[in-house]
Structure 1
């Protein structure tokens, strides 16, 4: 449920869940995620967001991984039932789906959904920007499909997944369609930098995330709910799950361990940022001079 500020903009209570997925323990991971969601609902949250790869971890080399991904509909339906039971909107991180199994066109898709508090799926997004050969050798990207924006009980919402965050074009494409909230599940590790990068800064990936998430809020006059994997001390998780708005930056943030943060998301900050920066107004101009599409001949 949302309350309104004196400006008339809604305030939503939202939950970002930072989870350690046990590799290939899909039932245990689903039950853990469900407990977090029930706790979020009990605390009055209207939206709960889970991390990328929260059901299986990212272990595509495991011989049972593809078979487990064939059961994706079971867990999507499980989250739909949970959303309706608890009366809470859910973005269940990502669910890796096996399609056309056993055929030449077999594909693994990394998919995020927006499920309403009535258990309805109103949004689906397939990850576009895959992380190097680690993902490109296994997953099929949504490639040149547009980034979709969904009508939800929290207004217009877009979704970007993990490495999508590194591309300003992704969020810019969504806010040009009216998105005022962007949800970002991730499985972001400290080791995602190079050895040389880690010598410069052992926690460089946390620095990257904190800087870029705040920048995306300001440059797009939007709110961002970021949910990353996190786990026991000594693991490689970057963590840093946070709820971020213009002017304030992160209004709530986790470290690197497993947990959940629940905070109020004041959409008045989003409205005031647009009043200040006029980003959406510029994007809507007929004579706006950036296309936000890079060509192969750029710079030649």
Structure 2
């Protein structure tokens, strides 16, 4: 059993360090997508500030600049888009640098049609790396699906998509749709990874990247666009939640391959690899 939803992916290039301009651009394209009937809208990773973490890593900007341009979850720009989601009656997902007491995180927020914050995801696989002194680029520690009025969603931010377990963990937590806000690879193999995550898990995937976007439903590409300032809209078939008995049966058939024997085999392989290296 499936439920049909109109989903939109926005391919937009932000201006680095220019939150006012980026917010205006995002609002314009969100409104355009909503006018075309989109109920679920996804925008790229780190869009509000322009994905500027590399400037801090390479010392083109100071760490204090990252703290200044980031904002907490109750910051003014998040509040602005909460109001927009409420006005347009949509579910909206986009990325930004989130400021917390423990540091700055690469975060995607999901906003609901009543202006509520449905949930957040902090990127767990940081392509640029991390360090204990990088308080401006902390690693996410949670993989939980998020409840929305359109169903339960899972989020993978850009590099997260390369690890199949990041997707599977959230589907095991009940995700019926996977959302990918991205700012990265536009090569063909990234499309293959997105399609693979959809087919492995039997759920639709909506990716909004800089320069490309992709929507997959029932394992097939239903919308694709190359270039910036593009909106892709397509109907996705969202599987209805299975009964508890069916869910348990499906996961048991998956987890049977992950018994303790696999861990023992892995440890033996690593020991052999270390021995070969020391020869």
How would you bin the TM-score normalised by the shorter chain?
0.7 to 0.9
Q: Paired residue for 1:265, among 225, 229, 236? A: 236
CA distance in structure 2 between the partners assigned to 1:43 and 1:291 by the alignment:
48
SS of the aligned residue for 1:112 comes to strand
Q: Deviations over 1:160-216 (max 9, x none)?
A: 100000000001101112211010100014xxxxxxxxxxxxxxx521211111111
Verify: 1:132 aligned to 2:128, yes or no.
yes
User: Which residue number corresponds to residue 288 of structure 1?
Assistant: 256
Structure 1: gaps of 5 or more residues: 1-7, 190-204, 231-238
RMSD: 2.7
Match of 1:242 in 2: 214
Q: 1:1-300 residue pairs with structure 2 within 5 A? A: 9-60=2-53, 61=56, 62-63=61-62, 64-70=65-71, 73-91=75-93, 93-100=94-101, 107-133=103-129, 137=134, 138-143=136-141, 145=142, 147-189=143-185, 205-230=186-211, 239=212, 241-248=213-220, 250-267=221-238, 270=239, 281-285=249-253, 288-290=256-258, 297=267, 299=269, 300=271
Q: 1:162 to 1:286 in 2, by over 3 A?
A: closer
Cα distance, 1:37–1:298 mapped onto 2, change above 3 Å: farther
Structure (1/2) with the larger helix percentage = 2
Work out the number of aligned pairs and report it: 253
Separation of aligned partners in 1, 2:157 and 2:267: 28
Contact 2:16 2:50 in 1 (8 A): yes
Structure 2 unaligned segments of length 5 or more: list them. 272-279
Q: CA deviation at 1:285?
A: 4.8
CA contact (8 A) 1:185 1:226 kept: yes
Q: Is the 8 A contact 1:181 1:224 kept in 2?
A: yes
Change (3 A) 1:280 1:157: farther
Change beyond 3 A, Cα 1:82–1:286 = closer
What's the TM-score, normalizing by structure 2? Answer: 0.82
CA displacement 1:210-245 (0-9 Å, x = unmatched): 111111111111110001013xxxxxxxx2x11112
